[in-house]
Structure 1
Amino acid sequence: MEEYVKKVKETAAFIKKNISEMPVTGLLTGTGLGDSVAGINVLHAFDYKDIPNFPVSTVESHKGKLIFGDISGHRIVAMQGRFHMYEGYSPLEVTFPIRVMQELGVQNLIVTNAAGGLNLSFSPGDIMLIRDHINMSGENPLIGPNVDSWGVRFPDMSAVYDLGLAAIALDAAIKHDLDMFQGVYVGLKGPSLETPAETRFIRMIGADAVGFSTIPEIIVAVHAGMKVLGLSTITNVNDPDHQEKATVEEIIDVAVKAAPKVALIIKHVLETLEL
């Protein structure tokens, strides 16, 4: 863990030397959603491969860029592409960027993802505000020695998703006449998609959407004391009694088309947050 902490601090130091202002809010975009950060006044941009110690995304549609800038005067750092355990990364590697954000002083984290819908009232292209989650990955990024300067050993998870940020996001949907659902996101490790029996099971335990990301980053963000907003783009709907094949190409296509809606919500949230 000492080596991990050292790498986080090295990466944060590199970034601090190369940017003019520290970000207040972090944005983490998911599959096909890189353009949901459109509208940023870009001040600095780094390819992941050029950042010391940073993982590199291997997934199609993840651009692999770390962008610093502002939206309506709100200073942000945006990740265009994330990392997944199914790529072979450990939970600590997946959440490395969130620890770097913590070292940079980030206070809010907005996370987007592409998810399969489990709630049959959903349609492809819908946006779901994440109200809660279920971690079914079998992993937790806080396993191992606790770094007390980063957070407490046993962080409370009773209110993971900030109610204030959620209310602003819902206001954004009303303002822009966008349908926004609310629900529970379940995180699996992947990369194989769910069988009909697995789909039926995770619906029974109360999940409305399913994906292979987000939860590790959210756990670390809560540990770090950040306020969290989660948005899922529903790319397909999983009906276990009428299961249809889903392809990555179709999922990406739906996510890309929904990205402008997500961008409107994010912009409204940032405009509303106090600087």
Structure 2
Amino acid sequence: MTEPGALDQGVTRDEWTATVVGHHRLRHDVAVIRLIGEFVPFRAGQSVEIRTAVQSEVRRRLSPALPPSLDGKLEFHVRTVPGGWLSGTLVADTKIGDEWLISAPAGTFHVDPAGDEVVMIAGGTGLAPLRAQILELARAPQPPRTYLFVGGRSPRDLYAADMLVLLAAELPWLTVVPVVERVSDPNWPDEWYEQIRAQVDVGFPADDLLEGTLADVVGAHGAFDHHQVLVCGSPAMTRATVERLVETGTPRGIIQYEGI
């Protein structure tokens, strides 16, 4: 556990402190980390910069998966980045009681709750800022119809399947479309996935999975020319998806996108 004040040195008025209260390893390379601390004045869909007591000199941008909370609740979805200085440590070594410093909210993702229908396209942990915006929309009196395309290489890469199935059941205006590049999982075991599967029996039925890349699947739907369109994922996935959207008639000017 981090000693109180371990990160006090160098704190400025533009940094806020939060303490880890939950660390849930979902896959060999993915963890959900929950914190409680000071109110952080970001907007749903933005990213923030974080540093920890373990590697206080290293900073990384992460997108909260919850909208701003006056009681200081934060949630981050973290995937190990090959060669990354901090992501692997966050996924594998985060402990309850660790202290984080959070700063520099940035980003322009936004959804108009009184605007057109919404199309969200999330690759991997690019889901986080889009999920925050879905929860923010849920506070609106009449949220617009929202379609969330969420993709992975194989079914077990859809690390938030249980949460998304339950969320779609709760929100009648939300439709979740799961997309996988192949319908069978790799033949090597992921112990964290196996543990979760033994505990949770909620997920996407196999018949609901659409096979292909996110770019291919959303492109097959034609133009989203009267929609609010948001894309978030790896830089390669984001570039490919935006280009396919434009090729199939979606105006480039209405597409909001961000690589993670």
With the length of structure 1 as denominator, give the TM-score of the two structures: 0.32
- Where relative contact order (Cα < 8 A, 6+ residues apart) is larger, the structure is 1
TM-score, normalised by the number of residues in structure 2: 0.34
- The structure number with the bigger radius of gyration is 2
